[in-house]
Structure 1
């Protein structure tokens, strides 16, 4: 739980500090999003290392290595003298977080019997949601009162506690034989795929989608992605065991996990950016906006976990997807006049939906996996979710920028002499500036500049609306594969093994 807290905290808390970081280093939107996408990309790739590391070194050594790297990367991020060092720190944070998160699911499914896993996930979730609930609020206070650098210094104390707990409670390596051969070719193909894909998506809007650099990056990503799947089907020690996806319920859960990752990480990226850039919130107020939703999530988690133990997994998942889609659709109506309470309520509604999805999705997916493949199944489902998150943030960022430009250009084209409302606004603004002592020419220029800023703000607001609407549609699409995650497959998978005998759980 402590390991997951530090990784979730770091993946969300930086969002409230993005405007200040952009100002400190003079970063544009394309580079600023790398602070989120580099973290998610590194986490995505590293998740596939988890099963091999646990088999080779044991849970204790794997946890200690990952959380120690995370602690060092957090300190590096807080002291970063340039944007390149800061991005490197986020990559190291993401890589270590990717090893930590699947380990959590593995431990829960080994310690608790099938009929108690939902409840265990619910109780575990109480601790986990405290990070996104309290972290952005505390981070916002630190940004406004001190500096954005202090958000990186929140996690090292938790890392120290996690190291002590691991030394006392986590077991060492279970087996005594030689470790499984590491799939270096698969790992390199996956790393190149993620780097080239996210680089192409991040820089496409700035450099042009038809530019040689972007086309080369996207072509390399496609080639490496296909080569990765080809290699994983043929190697004796795959990093991602594609046989897992021959289990229908696991495949359906993977599709939902991908959509879930795209929606949750994308919306978490959009909300702080919207309220700070469109509504003019401070970082503290932005963080406080997210707090009620996180606290409600902590209350709903145990209830959703108990429901998971008593119903087919697909029912809470479908309910959660619909509720979160409704929340995003409501946020698509937001504007500069939307009240704090209204936005907080929409976020609360969305987090209620997430609680039902998260507990049932993990139980429904890993419950179908034979005990001997539990480590690979945990890494695979987390990998798919994080891949959706990495792509979701990138694609929503691209969509946001493109829609903003489109709306701004469209609105600007209507600001001509035939537009009586604009002409009257310019006349009144010029009169105000002239009354303040400006000359006629300067007053007219200032009025035009002010009107241009209003048009740009309106275009940005409409682009955010479209982005929230996209998230809503994505979650509604997720209902289709969710209905295939059913109890019968979960029960059969949890009791089976590769040899057909029931192994049970320790």
Structure 2
């Protein structure tokens, strides 16, 4: 029996096959990407359940993003070796198993391993879906296809926190990991019907295990070193060794890939200046995107005291706006300059981050929600244009590697964004805490008045006189830390704004992609 290739499926279903293939990959991507941000609203509850701090909890996001980064590079090899149908079904089966184990995790170590597996599947699904859509849509419709596909990539993470908040509000944090299972099951069924099989004429590709291990070692050592630098000391032997090994592994990876007969990733696609500029924009956008998605729910829950459901609802208006803008952004990317759309998107994202740099414990719900809406407006305008502009200059045989590389760049930026913003938040909180504590002296009239009033309140509460001063000092310490923590968040959002502003440079270099004919 002949293999069910794309051509055979088109002959069987006609033009409707494009819709069937699009729905299949969108469901798979929604299932895989939903957990990317859903877990963020559960982090405070998970920290309490396992008794861990932020330095350990941030691995629930960083580990998944790092796994996404590496897994994206497997897309081309998996498709060549096993075909689209087996790749999709196998990945989603792994995803279902990891979701079940995550919901039943007895400790944070097992949960982190499950998050790594989930991140790997999510990373694979993005370039897999782009590759599939570029195979079934003609060049002049690819921008619109990317707009529709972008709904699944972004709408899942945007609305996932709201669904996660509902699960936590009515059940507990473990149920957030079960949300993607129904989507995965349906996508497996559709994939067995509408995804093409591997063509028998295709030669099986060998796998670049050396490159894979070098890349994994480099990312793992770098992220572990950055995560533990504050606690262990940036100049300690442990951290210096980790960062040194990361740099050596990265250099060895680049050298190996440039000379390997069948590299894990074809770095030569970066020779194209437009593609290289698009990859740089994607990296910076990823850092700001995933960094913001990590920081906002953490801020509103730990500083403003929002419930997981409320913090999830905070992201919903932005998600709805994004769902409306992604098809529009795809439509415009087929007709307007990619540079103009991307710069407009970066402007809105920068405006959002700079506005969030002024938040405090009393900032109203809708003020924060408006900042989120600005951010998703920028994302909706720029994401389809970025993908189309990146892949247009490439040859058809480079599309698989190009799709993997552009998504790799964004996810690599996301892994660094979450990791570095977590470090920045800790360091700036420590800095502001020391600065505020240094002025809380007996000569400070404001401090003296604060302590006097606190002692009066403790007296009214019946606290013994010998404990009143220590109680007042303890509360002062809590107030100072809360203010320092808020200032740390402000500085972190300011860094995000600066990152988006820097992205304007490679966005300008990309030039006008409208003048370039699609591949």
TM-score normalised by the chain length of structure 1: 0.96
Which of 88, 109, 129 matches 1:63? 88
- 1:12-70 Cα offsets, whole Å, 9 max, x none, are 00000000000111111111011101101111111111101101111111111111111
1:5 and 2:30 equivalent?
A: yes
1:159 to 167, 180, 184: 184
Correspondence list, 1:67-216, <5 A: 67-174=92-199, 176-216=201-241
Is residue 2:64 matched to residue 1:16?
no
Distance 1:48 1:345 in 2: 36
| Residues in 2 aligned to 1:489 and 1:359: alpha-carbon distance in whole angstroms | 13
Say which SS state the counterpart of residue 262 (structure 2) adopts. coil
Offset of residue 490 of structure 1: 7.2
Number of residue pairs matched by the alignment: 494
- 1:133 Cα offset (Å): 3.2
**Paired residues for 1:339-358 under 5 Å:** 339-358=364-383
Deviates more, 1:186-195 or 1:477-486: 477-486
C-alpha deviation, 1:207, in angstroms:
1.4
Which residue of 2 is the match for residue 440 of structure 1?
A: 465
8 Å contact 2:336–2:514 — kept in the other structure? Answer: no
CA–CA distance in 1 between the matches of 2:278 and 2:254? 19
Q: Distance in 1 between matches of 2:374 and 2:202?
A: 50
Deviation at 1:306, TM superposition (A): 1.1
Taking structure 1 as reference, are residues 289 and 489 closer, same or farther at Cα in structure 2, changes over 3 Å only? closer
Contact 1:367 1:490 in 2 (8 A): no
Alpha-carbon RMSD across the aligned residues, in angstroms, is 1.2
Structure 2 length-normalised TM: 0.93
Which of 9, 21, 26 is equivalent to 2:51? 26
Runs of 5+ unmatched residues, structure 2: 1-25
Residue 19 (structure 2) aligns with = none
Could you list the per-position Cα deviations for residues 300-348 of structure 1 after superposition, in whole angstroms to 9, with x for gaps in the alignment?
1111111111112111001100110011100101011100011111110
**Structure 1 unaligned blocks of 5 or more:** 496-506
| 1:288 has 2:325 as partner | no
Report how far residue 489 of structure 1 moved: 8.1
Does residue 1:361 correspond to 2:391, yes or no?
Answer: no
Distance of 2:415 and 2:75 partners within structure 1: 19
C-alpha distance in 1, partners of 2:151/2:288? 21
Offset at residue 114 of structure 1 (A): 2.1
Distance in 1, matches of 2:512 and 2:188, equals 37
Q: Are 1:364 and 1:486, in contact at CA under 8 Å, matched by a contact in 2?
A: no
1:284-363 equivalent positions in 2, closer than 5 A: 284-363=309-388
Judge conservation of contact 1:368–1:489 (CA < 8 Å) in 2. Answer: no
Q: Deviations over 1:131-176 (max 9, x none)?
A: 1232111111211221100000111111101100100101011352
Quote the residue 1:386 is aligned against: 411
Does the aligned pair in 2 maintain the 1:3–1:101 contact within 8 Å? no
Q: Which moved more, 1:405-414 or 1:172-181?
A: 172-181
Asked if 1 retains the 8 angstrom alpha-carbon contact of 2:304 and 2:361, the reply is yes
